[in-house]
């Protein structure tokens, strides 16, 4: 087994797998080193929402490019990503309605199927929703959700067919440097060498960057979700929703379930190895109250399960993409709780950056890891409050 590659990727989540796939398409041999098993980090816990609604144009562009993968996964990647089209609506508090209108215009300019609809239209799409606390909604009829485990597995399988190797149970402990360049890594399974090393370590991105002498302003973000069994009177409902009025999001899940997550009280700075088999105490009660406010008939539903997960979150809650520190060291991290849906396009753009020196599919220079040192934090053109508060 050769211990040499063109590119070493630290982290076998959706981002490591996407980058390995796209580098493989460009003829490079990659080595994905994963301390646990594929998709055992944020990816395996992700709610898998796939929508294009952002308040920052480069993020919408990444989501839109990625959407073409989700919709045509079998042809573009191979295998299945479990994409389910449900339609998606974004609700915002009254103070953000003008910003939402401008954001929908921005989405339409990019080509995203998006429109503004009234509460009556929402009622027609989702008759059980309570609709008297908003006057407008942004609607994406094509959006929905996918299965993050299936997406990561099929991307990694496709990467392997193109020559990539995944080594699991392999902890990277050191990044080797010589004359200001990366030369490889030391791991629990020995040393591996490559002129390029990519930090795709999710909520472990900060300690991994430190191994290369790089300080990244990324901390951890904990996020809990619950699954509710729908009441018998409403066995299915069909919309994925980000509900900023009630600080939550929810979507249907197969098997007559509804997945619910909350935008507030997601602790920062905990160990990424914290306990995630169950949600934090108090979460389920709060989430049940919120979902029943929006869908009152959910009072008749019951709890199916709950759990948590960790992602890396950056100072401006936006991705961190590009070269930083020693030559050959790249960051593909800091996805701040929204990185699943953009992973296909991010992997493509990072491959372009590494191979050609510049990303052409989408300009990812706004996500430059060096922006923090320059004090240039990203903010939406028509900004909402921070997603997570």
Ligand X SMILES: Cc1cc2nc3c(=O)[nH]c(=O)nc-3n(C[C@H](O)[C@H](O)[C@H](O)COP(=O)(O)OP(=O)(O)OC[C@H]3O[C@@H](n4cnc5c(N)ncnc54)[C@H](O)[C@@H]3O)c2cc1C
Give residues in contact with ligand X (CB under 6 A): 10-16, 33-36, 40-43, 45-49, 171-172, 200-204, 208, 223, 225, 309-311, 333, 335, 337-341
Q: Strand, helix or coil at 353?
A: helix
Longest CA pairwise span in the chain (Å): 68
Q: Are 346 and 338 in contact (CB under 8 A)?
A: no
Residue 146 has phi, psi (to 5 degrees) of -135, 175
* Between 129 and 145, CB nearer to ligand X: 145
Q: Are 87 and 79 in contact (CB under 8 A)?
A: no
Closest residue by Cα to residue 49 from 70, 65, 29: 70
Q: Strand, helix or coil at 295?
A: coil
* Between 76 and 94, CB nearer to ligand X: 76
CA-to-CA distance for 376 and 347, rounded, in angstroms?
Answer: 24
State how far the alpha carbon of 18 is from the alpha carbons of 70, 146, 153, 229, 312, in Å. 13, 15, 10, 33, 17
Provide, rounded to whole angstroms, the least separation between the CB of residue 76 and ligand X: 18
* Between 44 and 119, CB nearer to ligand X: 44
* Between 232 and 254, CB nearer to ligand X: 254
* Between 281 and 375, CB nearer to ligand X: 281
Q: What residue number has its CB nearest to ligand X?
A: 13
Provide, rounded to whole angstroms, the least separation between the CB of residue 226 and ligand X: 11
Provide, rounded to whole angstroms, the least separation between the CB of residue 321 and ligand X: 11
Provide, rounded to whole angstroms, the least separation between the CB of residue 198 and ligand X: 11
Provide, rounded to whole angstroms, the least separation between the CB of residue 6 and ligand X: 18
Q: Are 109 and 61 in contact (CB under 8 A)?
A: no
């Amino acid at each position: 087994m050769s211990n040499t590659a063109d590119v070493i990727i630290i982290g076998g989540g959706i981002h490591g797998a996407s980058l390995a796939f796209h580098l493989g398409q460009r003829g490079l041999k990659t080595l994905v080193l994963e301390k646990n098993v594929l998709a055992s980090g944020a990816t395996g816990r992700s709610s898998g929402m796939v929508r294009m609604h952002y308040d920052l144009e480069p993020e919408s562009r990444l989501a839109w490019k990625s959407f073409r993968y989700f919709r045509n996964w079998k042809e573009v990647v191979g295998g299945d990503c479990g994409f389910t089209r449900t339609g998606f609506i974004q609700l915002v508090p009254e103070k953000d309605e003008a910003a939402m209108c401008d954001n929908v215009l921005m989405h339409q300019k990019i080509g995203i199927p998006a429109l503004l609809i009234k509460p009556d239209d929402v009622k027609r799409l989702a008759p059980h929703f309570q609709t008297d606390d908003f006057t407008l909604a942004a609607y994406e009829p094509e959006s929905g959700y996918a299965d993050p485990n299936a997406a990561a597995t099929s991307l990694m399988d496709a990467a392997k067919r193109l020559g990539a190797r995944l080594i699991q149970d392999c902890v990277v402990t050191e990044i080797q440097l010589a004359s200001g360049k990366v030369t490889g890594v030391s791991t629990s399974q020995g040393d591996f060498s490559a002129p390029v090393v990519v930090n795709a370590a999710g909520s472990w991105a900060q300690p991994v960057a430190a191994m290369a002498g790089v300080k990244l302003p990324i901390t951890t973000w904990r996020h809990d979700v619950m699954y509710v069994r729908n009441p018998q009177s409403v066995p299915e409902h069909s919309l994925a929703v980000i509900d900023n009025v009630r600080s939550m999001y929810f979507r249907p899940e197969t098997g007559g379930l509804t997945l619910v997550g909350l935008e507030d009280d997601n602790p920062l700075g905990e160990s990424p190895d914290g306990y995630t088999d169950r949600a934090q105490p108090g979460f389920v009660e709060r989430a049940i109250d919120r979902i029943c406010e929006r869908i009152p008939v959910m009072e008749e539903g019951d709890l199916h399960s709950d759990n948590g997960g960790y992602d890396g979150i950056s100072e401006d809650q936006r991705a961190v993409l590009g070269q930083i520190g020693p030559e050959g060291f790249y960051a593909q991290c800091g996805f701040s709780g929204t990185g699943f849906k953009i992973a296909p396009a991010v992997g493509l753009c990072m491959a372009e950056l590494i191979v050609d020196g510049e990303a052409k599919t989408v300009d990812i220079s706004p996500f430059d890891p060096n922006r923090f040192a320059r004090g240039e934090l990203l903010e939406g053109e028509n900004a909402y409050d921070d997603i997570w508060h």
